[in-house]
């Protein structure tokens, strides 16, 4: 039957409505390393992994906190939608962005059949100087603390006035099958998405150069080491760390001065 008509005719007669279609949203897990400045002029600040969340101003999950995101339009890819949302939230462009996973459990959104193509974005402290975008009325940075044993992620999120917490038994092969054991304040299935993003970052840190996206263009080796320590939740040996990253960095002639200790050399990514 089909062979009797031309491809042109076929395409003109194609009826997209023969199949039910989902809405597709692009959601973004935006991580950065925030620095809590020290009161002691000698000491360095303490760093912490942080995430940008937006307060929901409408139903469903009114008043809870969600990942930034929005619906994908017909003239863009899911990645372009995420880039657009990122710009609207943070006013930033040229940010590291990678696709994470497409969450598609039929009832994950009470409104309708809505899939979430989730993304991971990493900002460095240079980026944070920039003010937030138009859509960011209720966007806030939360510092994260977590523990993870046998894929049981216990995560807490804190800002000046709020603390959220969640416990997720992550299924690393099939993140949608993860069990949300406890969850206070995170909307939708976003606890699963955040846990999976954290898992991804922890893993990729070890076999890729992801960490450079979380430090400024010029950075000290201690800053870079802090990124690893804060994400991996462990302290590393300085000498071993420097040996390991040596192939990926290049020293500059500049130094970071102004603290009560020996100035540190600034490096750039090779």
Interacting residues toward DNA by CB under 7 A: 40-44, 220-222, 237-240, 242-244, 255, 257-265
Q: Does residue 269 touch its own copies according to CB under 8 A?
A: no
Q: Does residue 78 touch its own copies according to CB under 8 A?
A: yes
Contacted by 39, from its own copies, DNA, none: CB < 5 to 8 Å by type: none
Least distance (Å) between residue 193 CB and DNA: 31
The tokens for 98 are 């990678």
Q: Does residue 14 touch its own copies according to CB under 8 A?
A: yes
Place of tokens 């009560």: 260
Euclidean distance between CA atoms 208 and 142, whole angstroms: 26
Residues 124-183 that bind its own copies (CB under 8 A): 173-174, 176
Least distance (Å) between residue 192 CB and its own copies: 13
Q: Are 186 and 94 a contacting pair, CB within 8 Å?
A: no
C-beta of 21 vs 262, nearer to its own copies: 21
C-beta of 16 vs 240, nearer to DNA: 240
C-beta of 10 vs 259, nearer to DNA: 259
C-beta of 36 vs 111, nearer to DNA: 36
Least distance (Å) between residue 256 CB and DNA: 7
Q: Does residue 19 touch its own copies according to CB under 8 A?
A: yes
Q: Does residue 24 touch its own copies according to CB under 8 A?
A: yes
CA-closest candidate to residue 250, choices 227, 223, 217: 217
C-beta of 104 vs 159, nearer to its own copies: 104
Of the candidate residues 38, 45, 76, 251, the single one contacting its own copies (CB under 8 A): 76
Euclidean distance between CA atoms 120 and 82, whole angstroms: 9
Which residues here bind its own copies, judged by CB under 8 A?
2-3, 7, 10-11, 14, 16, 19-24, 57-60, 62, 71-79, 98-99, 101-102, 104-106, 110-113, 115, 117, 173-174, 176, 203, 206-207
């Amino acid at each position: 039957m089909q062979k009797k008509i031309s491809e042109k005719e076929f395409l003109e007669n194609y009826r997209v409505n023969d199949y039910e279609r989902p809405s597709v949203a692009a959601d973004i897990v935006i991580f950065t390393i925030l620095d809590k400045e020290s009161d002691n002029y000698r000491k360095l600040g303490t760093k912490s992994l942080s995430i940008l969340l937006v307060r929901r101003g409408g139903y469903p999950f009114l008043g809870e906190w969600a990942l930034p995101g929005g619906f994908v339009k017909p003239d863009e890819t899911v990645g372009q939608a995420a880039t657009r949302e990122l710009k609207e939230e943070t006013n930033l462009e040229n940010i590291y962005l990678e696709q994470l996973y497409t969450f598609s459990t039929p009832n994950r959104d009470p409104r309708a059949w809505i899939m979430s193509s989730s993304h991971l974005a990493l900002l460095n402290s240079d980026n944070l100087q920039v003010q937030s975008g138009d859509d960011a009325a209720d966007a806030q940075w939360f510092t994260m603390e977590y523990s993870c044993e046998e894929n049981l992620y216990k995560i807490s999120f804190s800002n000046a006035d709020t603390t959220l917490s969640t416990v997720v038994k992550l299924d690393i092969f099939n993140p949608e099958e993860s069990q949300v054991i406890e969850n206070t304040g995170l909307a939708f299935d976003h606890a699963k998405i955040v846990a999976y993003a954290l898992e991804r970052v922890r893993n990729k840190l070890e076999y890729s150069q992801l960490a450079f996206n979380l430090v400024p263009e010029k950075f000290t080796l201690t800053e870079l080491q802090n990124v690893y320590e804060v994400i991996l939740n462990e302290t590393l040996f300085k000498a071993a760390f420097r040996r390991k990253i040596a192939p990926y960095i290049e020293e500059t002639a500049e130094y970071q001065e102004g603290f009560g200790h020996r100035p540190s050399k600034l490096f750039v990514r090779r």
